[in-house]
Amino acid sequence: MKKVISFCDRYSLLPSGGLVLAAVSGGKDSMCLLDILYKLKDRYGYELCAIHFNHMIRGKSADRDENFVMETCRNRKIKFIAGRGDTLRYAKEHKIGTEEAGRILRYRFFEETARETGAVCVATAHNADDNAETVLMNMARGAALKGLCGIPPRRDIFIRPLLSCTRDEIEEYNRENQIDNIEDETNSQDIYTRNNIRRNIVPLLKGINPRFSENVFNMSDIIRQDEDFMDNQADKFISENVHGGKIEIAALNRLHTAIKTRVIRKIWPSCGKKHIEEIIALTGDKISPSARCNIPGGIARREYGSIVFEKETDNVVW
């Protein structure tokens, strides 16, 4: 509990008033979250409401989970709101994976419920092990530095009070406080990428260092601070030097490469690594004053002392 309070206070996660929605699936992590938020509500002064989303994938098992959370909330006199969506149908219609479809529908429900209830924030039960799995997934996909930041403590209305806690610590808390839970049987199957990483890769890394998840969390925390600083530097440069899609080459070349690439990505978000390298090449001393390169949805061209970005569509936000 002290670890959660310290983490929440450090990032100002829990409000001093208003309504907090707790996303509760019925599993170990979310039941721990619900118990902690319930015990802290008088300390901080907020109201609490549990929300549960039924993905309609597992039939009676999914209904069982929903009823379990509902009964738990009824016994503790906690407000409860349930939602549901046909995940398999959504995945088929939009030609995406079931895991991604479930996430989209789930967060859509969270956001709609927050608007309808006037909630201050939505708390999810992501923990340090979830963060480590996310970082590994991002690394496998070739993510840049931002991908190593992992799961942020806060994103818009979403907060993660348990993010600094490992799954072992959560299970220990549940044992000590006799917190019941009910598990989604698919968590034990390697049918999703995250499950595969959780069950097969993370144990190998914990065999090398038992504190793997905690160390990844600390790494992500440090990288997130560095990323925020560089991001702010890029924003400041753009506000002072980019006008109407035109940027002075001399000013751009005074930047460190880490900031320079961020500036270009912010000006033209659809640019990949190859496009950014081509744009930077346009700033060289021996480049033709009318050189250009194609970028997604437009072109970047040199106009003597400037680089000009021109769109072919209206999809780019400056």
Domain shared by 15 and 122, yes or no? yes
pLDDT tens digit string along 82-98? Answer: 999 999 999 999 999 99
Which helix (H) or strand (E) element contains residue 291?
Answer: none
Confidence of residue 187 (pLDDT cuts 50, 70, 90): low
Do 299 and 213 have their domain in common? no
Query: What CATH number has the domain bearing residue 27?
Result: 3.40.50.620
| Residue 279: domain span | 244-311
The two tokens of residue 125 are 């039960």
Residues 52 and 163 in one domain: yes
Q: Is the pLDDT of residue 191 over 90?
A: no
Do 180 and 304 sit in the same domain of this protein? no
Do 99 and 212 share a domain, yes or no?
yes
- The C-alpha atoms of residue 307 and residue 59 are separated, in whole angstroms, by 57
Q: Is 225 domain-assigned?
A: no
Token pair for 75:
């016994």
User: Measured between alpha carbons, how far is 190 from 182 in angstroms, rounded to an integer?
Assistant: 19
- Judge if 108 and 252 occupy the same domain: no
Mean pLDDT of 53-78: 93
- 142 and 270 share one domain: no
What is the pLDDT of the chain when averaged over all its residues? 92
Count: domains in the chain: 2
Do residues 139 and 38 touch, judged by C-beta distance below 8 A? no
- CA 299 to CA 238: how far, in whole Å? 19
Rounded Cα–Cα distance for residues 287 and 279 (Å): 11
Q: Is residue 166 domain-resident? A: yes
Identify the pLDDT of residue 318.
46
What are the pLDDT digits (tens) for 104-139? 999 999 999 999 999 999 999 999 999 999 999 999
pTM as predicted: 0.84
DSSP assignment string, 234-284: HHHHHHHHEETTEEEHHHHHTS-HHHHHHHHHHHSTT--HHHHHHHHHTTS
CA distance 3 to 27: 21
* Lowest-confidence segment of 32-46, 179-193, 220-234 by average pLDDT: 179-193
Do 206 and 254 lie in a common domain? no
- Residue 33 in any domain: the answer is yes
233 occurs within a structural domain = no
Higher pLDDT, 281 or 317: 281
**CATH code: domain of residue 268:** 3.30.465.60
Q: What is the pLDDT of residue 146?
A: 86
28, part of any domain: yes
Q: How confident is the model at residue 180 (pLDDT cuts 50, 70, 90)?
A: very high
User: So what's the pLDDT on residue 317?
Assistant: 45
Return d(Cα 67, Cα 197) in angstroms, integer: 30
202 and 169: one domain?
Answer: yes
Residue 309: pLDDT over 80: yes
Q: What is the pLDDT of residues 132-172, one digit of tens each?
A: 999 999 998 888 888 999 999 999 999 999 999 999 999 99
Decide which of 13 and 183 is more confident. 13
Confidence of residue 231 (pLDDT cuts 50, 70, 90): very high
pLDDT tens readout for residues 250-270? 999 999 999 999 999 999 999
